[in-house]
Structure 1
């Protein structure tokens, strides 16, 4: 039963993240963007079975591949999200069409890895998926914060009184 509950929790987190991603979201400067990914990582590491003990070496290779896909997906997600300052100086983000392709590609790669691991007899549980999700969210948050700092450096910081606009690749 705990495995079923884990899967439901993962699905709920993914749905919440995806729904929020495709609507404009205000980004705060409170520097707590890493809290949710951190909690998810701790939860995933507390669960037994992150690595299949019967095939430890192969399972670690698949886990590393999963985490590499998560890293690339998070970086691409953060890079393809539109980022802009509102008229009041607040920072906003929203995923676009490119973000949909990033999500679809990441899911396809993860499904392929899961299928390949199953074919060679490696048992994976929700801990690996939760770990990968936490890495994806952490990298996305880090990329967005890095881009926000660049936006501040180019346009005079968060208190700048310019009209709302997007810059460079961030134009709509």
Structure 2
């Protein structure tokens, strides 16, 4: 897949995820296929050569690993800053809070900073590295949200001895 198409896929997925987050969203506490979109993104990132800079394989590998860790930490921060609750029927819901936007912005700033470090080192980090980082972000975010949803108890109570 060309770099331009990779950029289009990354932007489309980020836009879809962010737009969906702007309104309260019902979560599937069972989390049957929560890993599917990140897995597809990761597969797309690693299936073609060029993930690592051939002129600087060790440096680009290290920057790629740091980028994936930044992505995972961003996703976890995103999930932990979300408001999560159960409704009277026991369904789990989530919505963003202002601090969630701060988590998004911090993650983006760290990612751009990583690209800056790569430029200073003369290492090329392509769109595949970004795609893998976005996959890590979504995997950590959704996995954390599923885990949080499974640990919630309904806000209603069952009468004792009933």
- In structure 1, the residue matched to 2:47 is 46
**Aligned length, in residue pairs:** 156
How far the C-alpha of 1:161 sits from its partner, in A, is: 4.4
Tell me if 1:19 matches 2:19. yes
- In structure 2, the residue matched to 1:74 is 75
CA contact (8 A) 2:27 2:149 kept: no
If asked which structure has higher relative contact order (CA below 8 Å, sep 6+), I would say 2
List gaps (5 residues or longer) in structure 1: 163-172
Q: Deviations over 1:138-172 (max 9, x none)?
A: 111111111112213xx4xxxx745xxxxxxxxxx
List gaps (5 residues or longer) in structure 2: 158-162
Return the alpha-carbon distance in structure 1 between the equivalents of residues 96 and 40 of structure 2: 24
Q: Following TM superposition, where does structure 1 have runs of at least 4 consecutive aligned residues deviating by more than 6 angstroms?
A: none
Return the alpha-carbon distance in structure 2 between the equivalents of residues 133 and 7 of structure 1: 11
Return the alpha-carbon distance in structure 1 between the equivalents of residues 127 and 16 of structure 2: 18
- In structure 2, the residue matched to 1:5 is 5
RMSD, aligned α-carbons: 1.5
Return the alpha-carbon distance in structure 2 between the equivalents of residues 58 and 42 of structure 1: 22
Q: TM-score, normalised by structure 1?
A: 0.85
- In structure 1, the residue matched to 2:119 is 118
Return the alpha-carbon distance in structure 2 between the equivalents of residues 104 and 52 of structure 1: 27
CA contact (8 A) 2:31 2:146 kept: no
CA contact (8 A) 1:49 1:124 kept: no
Q: Deviations over 1:65-110 (max 9, x none)?
A: 1011111111111111111112222111111111100000000000
Q: TM-score, normalised by structure 2?
A: 0.90
Q: Deviations over 1:104-129 (max 9, x none)?
A: 00000000100110121111111100
How far the C-alpha of 1:47 sits from its partner, in A, is: 2.4
